Amino acid sequence: MHRILIVEDNPLNSELLQDWLETEGYAVATATTINEAKAELDGLMPDAVLLDVQLGLEDGLTLAVAIRNDPRLSNLPIIAVTAHAMITDQQRVMEAGCDASVSKPIDFDLLREKLQAFISDPTYRM
């Protein structure tokens, strides 16, 4: 069973993602802060990370940078989940090291497609 780490500070968004992922057959771990996410990443390795770009007062993209700078995690697929859909926001997401992004409200068909692509082919990049 593939494991997804959700990094999301909004409990409703986290629960929605978790319920959907579990229905899709994924095992799910959750974190609400960057430090919690790092602790999860030090434990069992997920197959992908769904990363909220704005974690309260924290910039979620700092976690993407940290993942890319860690040789053990550098190939871990990161999908940003963001309410910011402007082109400049998308560029910032990609420059931070995310492999793809999904705008809120979430298009679950698109998210399914991206997760399946990354998990079936770890070298896949969008």
18-48 pLDDT per residue, tens: 999 999 999 999 999 999 999 999 988 899 9
Dihedral angle at the C-alpha atoms of 100, 47, 61, 13, nearest 10 degrees? 90
Domain limits of the chain?
3-9+23-87+98-120
Label residue 119 by pLDDT band (50, 70, 90).
Answer: confident
- One of 3.30.420.40, 3.30.930.10, 3.40.50.720, 3.40.50.2300 is the CATH number of 3-9+23-87+98-120, namely 3.40.50.2300
37-84 pLDDT per residue, tens: 999 999 888 999 999 998 888 899 999 999 999 999 989 999 999 876
Tokens representing residue 1 in the block = 């069973």
